[in-house]
Amino acid sequence: MKIKFQADNDLNYDIVQAVLQLNPQIDFQTAVAAGIHKGTPDEQVLELAAAEGRIVVSHDLKTMPYHFANLVMKRSLPGLILVSQSFSISHAASSLHLVWEACTPDEFVDRFYNMF
């Protein structure tokens, strides 16, 4: 089974496009496709992604880790990847592509990773 990603509403859309250009088979759902918009609470983003077995990919280093940790104490979540906004689009895309190629979904369950 391969990893499925869910973009948070704050994730630069160009990163999603760059990942899909590297490999169109990657299942990377945009925030718009999931009904996630500016102002959608972090908990709701995490719950929506969890319902579909998706790892959330976000730039939100301030509040997302806190909400992820609180939810993980109550239930299992597919995971969270935090991408620094200082990353170039190509660096972020190649890193996420590598995660998709080299990892399994089980490696991310109830864990969050910082890409800095």
pLDDT in tens, 36-74: 999 999 999 999 999 999 999 999 999 999 999 999 999
What single-letter DSSP state applies at residue 106?
G
* Average confidence (pLDDT) over 6-31: 98
pLDDT, position 40 = 95
Chain-centroid distance, C-alpha 26: 13
Residues, the chain: 116
Backbone angles phi, psi at 39, to 5 degrees: 100, -10
User: Is the pTM value of this prediction over 0.85?
Assistant: yes
pLDDT, position 116 = 81
Q: In the CATH scheme, what architecture does the domain 4-115 have? A: 3-Layer(aba) Sandwich (3.40)
Domain residue ranges of the chain, discontinuous segments joined by +:
4-115
pLDDT in tens, 69-103: 999 999 999 999 999 999 999 999 999 999 999 99
Alpha helices in the chain (DSSP H): 13-22, 31-34, 42-51, 64-72, 89-102
Interstrand relation of 27-29 and 4-7 (parallel, antiparallel or unpaired): parallel
